[in-house]
Structure 1
Amino acid sequence: MSVSVDLQIASECQDIPTTEQFIQWATAAVNNLKNHAELSIRVIDEEEGAELNLTYRQKQGPTNVLSFPAELPEAVELPLLGDLAICAPVVIREAAEQNKSLEAHWAHMVIHGTLHLLGFDHINDKDAEIMESLETKILMELDFPNPYQPSESL
């Protein structure tokens, strides 16, 4: 199994993971679900995040991660999953507010977004339980804590 990640850094933030980390986390999310996958990850700042969130979700302000699944015709068999836009300032702020390590929160956002590209969602309680359980399992396999349990002081 292989995962190709096209990483675009369009943020002024300094605390951005390495390309290798993004690939590791996306690969962990895809593991056992596809043989090969391709996705783009664009790390953005709040202005672009707010613009994308308003345009595609009709919500004000930036959010942590936006997922844009590839819309390919059924007859086209490409490993393209789609695109993620991750707002670095929001991820950094949330990690501090939630008392989580920055690396763990970045990993969670990449895994969460990648699962959305794979068709998982959390619109209703049943789907949310399935997705959150899978996120927790993947993160714990990577030695990160459960992202849905309150953190102890770092």
Structure 2
Amino acid sequence: MTDKNKLLYKIVKKLNGLSKIEAYELAHRLETFLFYASNPIDIKNLKQIVDSDIDDNQEIDPFHFTILPNGNFCEFDGSNDWLHIYKENKRILPNWPIFNTYYFKTKYAPLELIKLTKKNLLENIQNTEKEKDILDFLKTHAVTKKNVLTNKLLLLDS
């Protein structure tokens, strides 16, 4: 067995007992996490990435793809400089706006895919420079309100 195979076996052993979807989600999070890591990988740098904000010049999630724990895929719906929005592709329900479920990632938590709700958004941006702007936005709009002409979430314009 080659060294690469031994290393791969050692890593795959850690996935024992996980569902395939959980393993795919973990692999995607790891790939995103490693995108921000230095080369060669250093544990101090990895800890720094987890504990701090990502550099403003970096993409939040360069892969624009994720799988939810329920097995549904999320497609990239839009972004701005601090926020990426994903829309869940439901396999069973029709594609009507009332069934739409949105998720988000921010530069403040680029490894987490969080359901887009007012509460979750406010928790995620608490004590950041965006907090005041988003509070003002949420006073007049629902978090998933769309522009009628462009069909783009208004949140991305704030």
Relative to the length of structure 1, the TM-score reads 0.27
The structure with the larger Rg is 2
Structure with the bigger RCO (C-alpha within 8 Å, sep 6+) is: 1
Q: Whose helix proportion is higher, 1 or 2?
A: 1
